[in-house]
Amino acid sequence: MSSDRDQETSDRSQGPSPRQHDQPCGQESDAEAAGLSHSLSHRGVDISAFYNSYFQAYEAYQSSKFHLDLNNLGFFHLDVSENKLCSDLMAERLCQKDMDDVEDIQLQAPNPRGHPFLREAVAQFLTSYCSAPECLFSRNVVVLNGCSAVFSALSMVLCDPGDCFLVPTPFFSGFIFGTKMCTNVELIPIHLETEITDEDTLPFQLTVGKLEQALLEAKTQCKKVKGLLLPNPQNATGHVYSQESLKEFLEFAKRNDLHVVVDEVYMLSVFDDSVQFHSVLSLERLPDPQKTYVIWSISKDFGLGLGALYTPNEDVAFAVSPFSYLHSISGIVQYHLRCLLRDRDWIDRIYLPAVHSRLRTAHAYVITTLRELEVVHNFKIFFHSRSCGLYLWINLKNLLEPCTFEEELVLYRRFLDHKLILSRGQSYLLKEPGWFRLCFAENPDKLELAMLRFGQAIAEQKQYWIQKVVQYIPELEETDSSSSDDN
Amino acid sequence: MFPLPQKESRAPATCLGSATTQDVVSSYQDGLGRESPGKPDQKLPGLYGVGDPVSKFSSDSSCLSSRGRVIKWFWDSAEEGYRTYHMDEYDEVKNPDGIINLGTSENKLCFDLLSRRLSQSDMLRVEPSLLQYPDWRGHPFLREEVAKFLSYYCKSPAPLKPENVVVLNGCASLFSALATVLCEAGEAFLIPTPYYGAITQHVYLYGNVRLAYVYLDSEVTGLDSCPFQLTVEKLELALQGATSEGAKVKGLILINPQNPLGNVYSPEELQGFLGFAERHKLHVIVDEVYMLSVFEESLGYHSVLGLERLPDPQRTHVMWATSKDFGMSGLRFGTLYTENQEVATAVASLCRYHGLSGLLQSQMAQLLRDRDWINQVYLPENHSRLKAAHTYVSEELQALGVPFLRGGAGFFLWVDLRKFLRQGTFEEELLLWRRLLESKVLLSFGKAFECKEPGWFRLIFSDKTHRLRLGMQRLRQVLESKSQETEDVPPPTTPRTPVSSADEVAFACGRRLLPPKSSLGAARGPVMMCRTETL
């Protein structure tokens, strides 16, 4: 996708930037030497280069993680969406007696698709938490070591090289890395964003109309669209789809003979009790069960690597099996997962309530901080505070002058200079500059420090913005932020 | 680990022409119409071949894409034996008539030691930070332990460096990742046969890389040779042959200790093979997964990392895993060691798909660090149990009059059942395999290892005595009835592959111990069971 390559080149062409001295040595040169290698194949070189440009920030973080005592200048990672809030509870649970058992089966050659005891536990878990009308069977379950692995394996068996999947934005363009490099499947973004005009604008709304349009556009470009990837809940705003909406999307897919891969990875992260999550598996009847696949992951919820695939299509479940050796989960981890999933009591009474409560608190804290910053710096931040998921998409267009991706990158780098890693909209294939993603599922102490740094960065950005504006409109000393929508 | 059978077997084909360099998926249609010649190539009889994993594929309709159907078919055929086994597993209490698995290469002898060690308190400590998204290359603490571990056990001349280590969830993933980063789609690795057949899938699934075979046979041609012996000359010829058919060979795969032969390469041989690779600018992937499972000390194992000098360190990549040496193939932990930072980085880039949980990384580091337990408890006990099991099965085979390679490393015996085939064909081999399976004993047949000669089987002995006993009993029953049939049936019209006199000698020699290292140059003899250590 050209926008990603642009970003890549623009990143590299910016010249030495403050963050570079934080990176491990040799990374820049890998990217530079992208065209030439005595050891690697062309795709090997591409893989390294792609990885470096998309995951540079992550590498920087890894090389200098923030630890309260040791490294006060380290990076805060508010980017990768993982739930750090309840690692303590999880750690405690994993040390309990039932986790001690190391049985032979855990050590033995892995059963393809995952040990039956785990698949059974996953089937029962999903039956319960997805409110499935009938019991789900373990033979329709495959477990791999993560949701990227599941999607990768699915792409291999559902698509031929060059085929396409429609994916609503925002989605992480690094996702393209895996599908392009490994499976040769093209991801076509369905652009959902609408221009933010006021606080009531609902961004990232998925409608059947937009699906139809995206499909039509793809076809006119002679793309072979094989399927649709549907995040549920909606991954940008945490919007929870109604059963009717889900049905409509599935009917659309059926009409157009598309596979539908429903990504329900954040299913347990709905922290507002008044909101009811609907899984695709809760529907009385699936329009096209043989082409419906649900991905669920435990990495987000429980911090252990598991990606589960559920599909009524046994043929596909079978075809995905060979990938289980490449994306395998350790027998010991499978055993731990089984123990966890079966412990409904602990999940319902201890873990989920704690997760939800901590997410609510963290979410509220971040919202409050953002509102305060608005007042202090006199500008509007747009966001939709839905009660689901681990992160918040905020639009900082009012601090960008002009509102372009170049300026978005400047702000991104400013956050990095303040040792804060946020995701920015361009890496998520958004068309409108100014979007940033902030993962708030972080421990209170760290979150407070992170938001402090965020505030500092914002303050700096505001000054910078003022200078820019004054540059263009010298007769004005300071512009009211509400009229800054002048791009 | 899985047999790679086609439904009807033929003599190894040299698959020619358009399939060799094109994307295999698009070439499967060639495979539909193409008949394997069943005859070796005219110019270089039976010395090489270029694999086409899907040459026998036949399409069927389903929701899957074309490549999905190929993958499914491939998997279907590969797993037939294991599926049958899983549906009827032997259990001495619950299912005494179930199938005894002497096919999966797994060390079932030391689960007790391992369970005990892994249940100790240092393994159960879980820190919250371990639960968060790990460093994709592997946590630094683990890579340091791996470097120290390999330095020690491979006897490296200089300490190995953590930055040259990458950890993934098993050697399968390492093969897949290396195939992807070293080769373009359709390119090939050279590999001596017979070899561990699962590698075909590992390099093909994502990597779309094929294998170019260096066919070895059991014929012993001189005083210094052994059956299935790899030489630099054979490598040269095979490379030449494969290249002449349009295969673009990028690397060489060596498995040391060898699977399924159970033998090891001497340092001179290793230097020779690495030198060959260096001359042709080939990468060498050395799979040393059985490195600590050399229970016959006189074999004298040498790791590639223990050589004084590597001819081409930038193209030498060594892999190891806990799955075999620590009997935990279920745990899924593999490591790559390479001085080539570009390769290490590229493989690490793929780690997110083949990652290890933080928890497992911590446990593995604990395990590898525990030198005392490994050296004083685990290895001695493991080797002693392996030796005992090996002795038992060897004696049973001798009593049956079945020739075999003695080996001394790994968990397997490479067994010669050629005389029990009515005809020397792969069809007959498969029939015998099915017959054994019906009699509730699972072995792996030679075609799954791309063995050139029909009739060889791999038998796993690393199991508890009562299972071995039952398995051998069932094997005996089948072979005895096959012998009866062979006597009753008139001699076949096609001559069987000549069996060298050395084979007949093999079992009669019994377990001849090698001369001690001090007496170099002692007679090696033509026996197919010995490897003399020369320093």
Residue spans per domain, chain A = 2-26+38-86+350-475, 109-342
Domain count, chain B: 2
Q: What is the pLDDT of residue B321?
A: 93
Q: In terms of CA atoms, which chain A residue is nearest residue B331?
A: A330
Place of tokens 């709905």: A270
How is residue B33 written in tokens?
């119409």
On whether both B283 and B341 belong to a single domain, the answer is yes
Asked whether residue B46 is domain-assigned, the answer is: no
On whether both B198 and B307 belong to a single domain, the answer is yes
- Dist CA A177 CA A185 (whole Å): 10
On whether both B190 and B230 belong to a single domain, the answer is yes
Asked whether residue B395 is domain-assigned, the answer is: yes
**Chain B neighbors of A142, CB-CB under 8 A:** none
| pLDDT band, very low/low/confident/very high, at A459 (cuts 50, 70, 90) | very high
On whether both B363 and B381 belong to a single domain, the answer is no
Helical packing angle, B24-33 and B66-78, nearest 10°:
70
On whether both B319 and B460 belong to a single domain, the answer is no
On whether both B365 and B386 belong to a single domain, the answer is no
Q: What is the pLDDT of residue A260?
A: 97
Element (H, E) at B101: strand B100-101
Instruction: Classify domain A109-342 by CATH number.
Output: 3.40.640.10
Instruction: Classify domain A2-26+38-86+350-475 by CATH number.
Output: 3.90.1150.10
How is residue B246 written in tokens?
């349009």
Residue with the larger pLDDT of the pair A67 and B417:
B417
Q: Which of A84, A109, A319 sits opposite B132 (nearest CB)?
A: A84
| A50 with B128: Cβ contact below 8 A | no
Q: Which of A105, A160, A305 sits opposite B66 (nearest CB)?
A: A160
A169-183: pLDDT as tens digits = 888 776 777 788 788
Give the mutation candidate from B107, B342, B378 for the A interface (greatest A CB count, under 10 A).
B342
A389-419: pLDDT as tens digits = 777 888 999 999 899 999 999 999 898 888 8
Burial of residue A122, with CB atoms counted within 10 A of its CB: 0-12 exposed, 13-18 middle, 19 or more buried: buried
The candidate with the shortest Cα–Cα distance to A439, out of A273, A206, A267, A236, is A236
Burial of residue B373, with CB atoms counted within 10 A of its CB: 0-12 exposed, 13-18 middle, 19 or more buried: middle
pTM score of the predicted model: 0.81
Residues 6 or more apart whose CB falls under 8 angstroms from that of B397 comprise B404, B413, B415, B507
On whether both B147 and B250 belong to a single domain, the answer is yes
Angle among Cα A471, A477, A478 to the nearest 5 degrees reads: 95
Give the residue ranges of DSSP H helices in B159-231.
Answer: 171-182, 198-204
Q: What is the pLDDT of residue A473?
A: 67
| B340 with A183: Cβ contact below 8 A | no
Size of interface A-B (CB pairs under 8 A): 247
On whether both B149 and B188 belong to a single domain, the answer is yes
A23 pLDDT exceeds 80?
Answer: no
Residue with the larger pLDDT of the pair A451 and B487:
A451
Q: What is the pLDDT of residue B381?
A: 95
Give the mutation candidate from A40, A261, A291, A335 for the B interface (greatest B CB count, under 10 A).
A40
On whether both B347 and B435 belong to a single domain, the answer is no
Whether A91 has its CB under 8 Å from any CB of chain B: the answer is yes
C-alpha A19, offset from chain centre: 23
- In order along its 535 residues, chain B shows pLDDT tens digits of 333 333 333 333 332 222 332 333 333 333 323 333 333 334 456 778 888 766 655 555 578 998 888 888 878 877 788 888 988 999 999 999 999 999 999 899 998 998 888 888 788 776 666 666 556 678 888 999 999 999 999 999 999 999 999 999 889 999 999 999 999 999 999 999 999 999 999 999 999 999 999 999 898 877 667 899 999 999 999 999 999 999 999 999 999 999 999 999 999 999 999 999 999 999 999 999 999 999 998 999 999 999 999 999 999 999 999 989 998 877 789 999 999 999 999 999 888 788 787 778 888 999 999 999 999 999 999 999 999 999 999 999 999 999 999 999 999 999 999 999 999 999 999 999 999 999 999 999 999 999 999 999 999 999 999 999 999 999 999 999 988 876 766 555 544 444 443 333 333 222 233 333 333 333 332 223 333 333 2
End of a domain among B370, B391, B410?
Answer: B370
Asked whether residue B341 is domain-assigned, the answer is: yes
Shortest distance, CA B137 to any CA of chain A (angstroms): 10
Burial of residue B505, with CB atoms counted within 10 A of its CB: 0-12 exposed, 13-18 middle, 19 or more buried: middle
Residues 6 or more apart whose CB falls under 8 angstroms from that of A273 comprise A356
Asked whether residue B492 is domain-assigned, the answer is: no
| A158 with B202: Cβ contact below 8 A | no
Residue with the larger pLDDT of the pair A62 and B517:
A62
On whether both B265 and B334 belong to a single domain, the answer is yes
| B181 with A43: Cβ contact below 8 A | yes
Give the mutation candidate from B340, B353, B382 for the A interface (greatest A CB count, under 10 A).
B353
**Chain B neighbors of A162, CB-CB under 8 A:** none
Are β-strands B334-338 and B316-321 bridged in parallel, bridged antiparallel, or unpaired? antiparallel
Q: Which of B114, B250, B350 sits opposite A47 (nearest CB)?
A: B350
Q: What is the pLDDT of residue A201?
A: 61
Range of the domain at B351: 127-218+226-370
On whether both B189 and B322 belong to a single domain, the answer is yes
End of a domain among B370, B386, B417?
Answer: B370
Element (H, E) at A76: strand A76-77
Q: In terms of CA atoms, which chain B residue is nearest residue A306?
A: B357
Helical packing angle, A42-63 and B171-182, nearest 10°:
120
- In chain A, the largest separation of any two C-alpha atoms, in whole Å, equals 79
A69-105: pLDDT as tens digits = 444 444 555 555 555 667 777 777 777 777 766 677 6
On whether both B467 and B387 belong to a single domain, the answer is yes
Whether A275 has its CB under 8 Å from any CB of chain B: the answer is no
Angle among Cα A244, A250, A254 to the nearest 5 degrees reads: 140
- Dist CA B398 CA B394 (whole Å): 6
A217-236: pLDDT as tens digits = 999 999 999 999 998 887 77
Q: What is the ipTM of this complex?
A: 0.77
End of a domain among B323, B349, B370?
Answer: B370
Whether A180 has its CB under 8 Å from any CB of chain B: the answer is no
Q: What is the pLDDT of residue B8?
A: 33
Contact (Cβ atoms closer than 8 angstroms) between residue B430 and residue B437 = no
Asked whether residue B27 is domain-assigned, the answer is: no
Asked whether residue B147 is domain-assigned, the answer is: yes
**Chain A neighbors of B203, CB-CB under 8 A:** none
| A41 with B184: Cβ contact below 8 A | yes
CATH number of the domain enclosing B205: 3.40.640.10
